[in-house]
Amino acid sequence: PRPTPPHRRGRILSHMVSRLPEEERGPTAEALGAVAAADPADRAPLRTRMLAQLANTLPDGSAKLSALVGALRFAEAAGTTELLRPAWEGRAQEFVEGLGGTPQEQRELFVALSGQFARPCRGSYECLLLALRAGGEGARGSEELTARAVVEFLKADGLYSCDLGHGGALDGLRAAGAKHADLLALLEIFTAGSFADFTAFRAAKKGRLEALGLQADAAEDKMRVMALAGLAAGSEGARLAYSQVEAALQVGEAEVEGWIVKAIGEGVLEGRMDQMQQVLHVQRATKRAFGAQDWEEVSARLEGFRKNLASISTQMAHA
């Protein structure tokens, strides 16, 4: 007999699972997922689509979440994440919460989603934050998940503001004592310290950045941008001398404008450079750490906007 074409095999597997009694679908989906993920290098795109199609045949709930986690983990191992990411990117919370399941199952799915990006970035970091919130900060595994989120923040491209300090997410790391002490110290340096603090850490803890999974050069560049953000935040509405930037970032005079341009390009600060006066007129700077007070300020502003819109709507209705 002629072999079944690949695209039909995917439909046949999905149909088989959908015809099973509901109590058998979960175990069957897990078994098929394990088989499909046995060798990521073998026909990876086809098998990725098959696993996704299989998951979509299952009803919302535990079985579907389990099948999706299997599909996502296979895609991460096989390098085919671009095939699945468009289905949920930009709406991860809505996507996961719409599938039902327990908080722990949703947490596992958020973690799997975080691995669907080519490199650490805002998207992968936000998925880990959603995972922490889904299971609760005190849930089983929260300590290691928080540590992973901290590392993801430190590694993430284009991410210069951290809100892990809000709530009790870091309490588990602090309670662990020496186990996570270096990681917490490094996070404190990035969010509140100076570039000099960073270089002192590297000198005292040789090889520690690499042990935590960071690339030293990339971490150094990120720290310079964040140090510049901290410096500019204290000078909003005022002038920041190039000499201050030179000293704070420990760079040569000729490099100062390059770092300012980089920070502006990354959206970390807004300002106007005056080459004649050798100053930066700072208009706005990103806060490196976003805490409870900052969220309260945002909430108050949003409430003000809501009231203004309601007032405008009422006036228009009576016009």
List 279's β-bridge partners, or say none: 241, 274
Going by pLDDT thresholds of 50, 70 and 90, the confidence category of residue 46 is confident
Residues 6+ apart with CB under 8 A from 73: 37, 112, 115
Residue 214 and residue 151 in contact, taking contact as beta carbons nearer than 8 Å: yes
Q: DSSP character for 40?
A: T
* Tokens describing residue 289: 């750490």
Going by pLDDT thresholds of 50, 70 and 90, the confidence category of residue 294 is very low
At residue 312, does pLDDT exceed 90?
no
- Residue 57 or residue 240, greater confidence: 240
Round to whole Å and give the CA distance between 129 and 175.
20
Helix axis angle, 181-192 relative to 142-155, nearest 10°?
40
Residue 124 and residue 156 in contact, taking contact as beta carbons nearer than 8 Å: yes
Calculate mean pLDDT across residues 7-21.
Answer: 50
- For 18, 67, 72, the CA distances from 21, given in Å and listed in that order, are 8, 16, 25
pLDDT of res. 28: 56
Query: At 227, which helix (H) or strand (E)?
Result: helix 216-233
pLDDT of res. 1: 42
- Picking from 39-43, 53-57, 131-135, 275-279, which range would have the lowest pLDDT averaged per residue? 39-43
pLDDT of res. 17: 53
- For 75, 89, 258, the CA distances from 155, given in Å and listed in that order, are 22, 20, 22
At residue 306, does pLDDT exceed 60?
no
- For 6, 34, 53, 193, 241, the CA distances from 9, given in Å and listed in that order, are 5, 16, 11, 56, 66
Model confidence pLDDT, tens digit, residues 216-263: 999 999 999 999 999 999 888 899 999 999 999 999 999 999 999 999
List 272's β-bridge partners, or say none: 281
Residue 238 and residue 278 in contact, taking contact as beta carbons nearer than 8 Å: no
Q: Which DSSP string corresponds to 19-30?
A: TS-HHHHHHHHH
Model confidence pLDDT, tens digit, residues 100-115: 999 999 999 999 999 9
The model's pTM is 0.79
